[in-house]
Amino acid sequence: MRVSIVGGGIAGLTCALSLHAAGFRPRVNEAARSIEAVGVGINLLPHAVRELTELGLAEALAAVALPPHRLSYRDRAGDPVWEEPLGLAAGYHWPQYSVHRGRLHLMLLAAVHERLGPDFLRTGRLFRRFEQTADGVRAHFVDRTSGGPIREDADVLIGADGIDSAVRAQLYPDEGPSHWNGVHMWRGIARYPHVLDGRSIVVAGGTPGAKFVAYPIEDPAVEGGDALLNWVLEVRRERSAAPLDRTNRRITPAEARVGVTEWNLPWVDLETLVERSSAVFEYPMLDRDPLPSWSSGRVTLLGDAAHPMFPMGMNGGSQSIVDARVLAWCLAREGDPAAALRRYDRMRRATVNAVVLANRDLGPEAIIARAAEHGEPLPVGQAESIVNRYKDLAQATVAQVNTHPTWTVPGDAADLMR
């Protein structure tokens, strides 16, 4: 079965590795001319780390990431509102990881080159459209170097091309722009002493647009040195008739200093953090409405192309990794590509669509939003209920992650696909 993937990001590369492990030889088409270590921090929850571990990437992941042990929700003054253990400390069989997105991306790229070879990833290919027949699907690209057209024939086409997916746009031409909730995120990374115990993800504040997030993604090079700290400051903007700025503009040092003056957290000096950041960029907080279907015939969507979500529960990237594993499993189980994609759709879409909607309702961060409204922490039982309900919805409780059947395709079945 010939499988063509549009998009060479984290979702697309994980999909390629999952398909290869299931016995396929996928081809990845990426619009960028080269893949580089860009971006800031990302969190991988235990359900995603389990899947990467089963792909044989545990050692490589541990070499580039840090395992946080605690999630600490705090109020605007920096005092604890709710705390819980994470990863192994919470009873999962796999850790949670915080990692620089670019390092994770390059780790996956190295695995693709090692296992599939360099010819299975083609860069500089801008996807334009696809067309289907009863026997296959043809994808049309533009070579960004020559400007010439490229056609690729496959049995299955997977759109893993992000929130502004061109594959999704062809499936749903009347969908319109992504949804903005009025919040922008200022994001940066800086060398800074460890915050709290050095293994905490800290979320302080209340409702979206009034939050500060920080977590380490690299330990100090020497004892007593500075860690590499990922941080996010949310700011709310007034809506206007002008088009939303999607350029991820660079925040000036003066603007950044003004933005942090309203905060006074006892365990971090925000002005120093801003000054030490190599750059600070502004990202609008966006999602899209859940779709009634991800698949049509021999074409399907995966990751942010299928379910872009607000970053309330650290779930977007993790759910994309699970998508990739389930999709490969379905394709290995079904002889008919269209039937395999329908099966994948049934198995994943309702769950992740529910997460998208839960994140619009603040997800687990409802704990700090409600605490800010009431002026005091929620009762323990009420906070636990919010957290447990969200984890169950995302199929990410300790019991769900530790006991669900593997998505790894048995060796004999994978051999039959080669």
Q: Are residues 224 and 275 in the same domain?
A: yes
Domain identity same for 113 and 232? no
Residues 6+ apart with CB under 8 A from 32: 8, 123, 124
Let me know if residue 297 belongs to a domain.
Answer: yes
What global pTM score does this model have?
Answer: 0.95
Angle at 7 between CA 324 and CA 181, to 5 degrees: 85
User: Which tokens in the block code for residue 146?
Assistant: 């020559």
What is the rounded distance in angstroms from the CA atom of residue 202 to the CA atom of residue 195?
9
Do both 136 and 37 map to the same domain? yes
Q: What is the CATH number of the domain that holds 185?
A: 3.30.9.30
Q: Are residues 264 and 280 in the same domain?
A: yes
Do 186 and 232 fall within a single domain?
Answer: yes
Domain boundary among 287, 321, 344: 287
Handedness of CA 286, 287, 289, 291 (dihedral sign): positive
Answer yes or no: is 122 within a domain: yes
**Would 377 be classed as within a structural domain?**
no
Which amino acid does the sequence have at 14? T
Q: Is the domain of 310 the same as that of 337?
A: yes
Is residue 55 domain-resident? yes
Same domain flag for 55 and 136: yes
What's the chain's length in residues? Answer: 418
Residue 372 lies in a domain: no
**Is 209 a member of any domain?**
yes
Residue 39 lies in a domain: yes
Supply angle C-alpha 364, 251, 200, rounded to 5: 35
Could you write out the three-class secondary structure of 183-225? EEEEEEEEEECCCCCCCEEEEEECCCCCEEEEEEEECCCCCCC
What's the token pair of residue 140?
A: 């049309």
Backbone angles phi, psi at 409, to 5 degrees: -80, 130
209 lies in the same domain as 277: yes
336 and 241 in one domain?
no
Residues 235 and 294 reside in one and the same domain: no
Q: Are residues 40 and 114 in the same domain?
A: yes
Q: Residue 417: its pLDDT value, please?
A: 54
Give the C-alpha distances (Å, rounded to integers) separating 102 from 40, 153, 194. 7, 30, 21
Per the listing, tokens 């605490």 go with 371
Structure confidence at residue 415 (pLDDT): 55
Phi, psi (rounded to 5 degrees) for 13: -70, -40
Q: Among residues 239, 263, 287, which one ends one of the domains?
A: 287
Tokens representing 279? 């750059």
- Residue 349: half-sphere exposure toward Cβ, Cα within 13 Å: 17
φ, ψ for residue 230, nearest 5 deg: -90, 135
Averaged in consecutive runs of 10 residues, what is the pLDDT profile of the chain (418 residues)?
Answer: 96 98 96 88 97 98 97 96 97 98 96 94 97 94 96 97 97 95 95 94 93 96 92 89 84 90 94 94 96 98 98 94 98 96 98 98 96 92 96 97 95 56
- Whether the CB-CB separation of 129 and 142 falls below 8 Å is answered with no
Strand order in the sheet with 227-236: 80-85, 70-74, 200-205, 211-218, 227-236, 179-192, 277-287
Residue 80: inside a domain: no
| Gap between the terminal Cα atoms of the chain | 9
Place of tokens 């050095």: 198
Domain count, the chain: 2
Domain that holds residue 215: 181-287
| Nearest of 302, 352, 219 to residue 3 by alpha carbon | 302
From 287, 313, 342, give the residue that closes a domain: 287
The answer to whether residues 152 and 187 belong to one domain is no
46-54 vs 10-21: helix axis angle to the nearest 10?
A: 40
Q: Is 250 helix (H, G, I), strand (E, B) or coil?
A: strand
Pairing of strands 277-287, 179-192: antiparallel
pLDDT at 4: 98
CATH number for the domain that contains residue 172 = 3.50.50.60
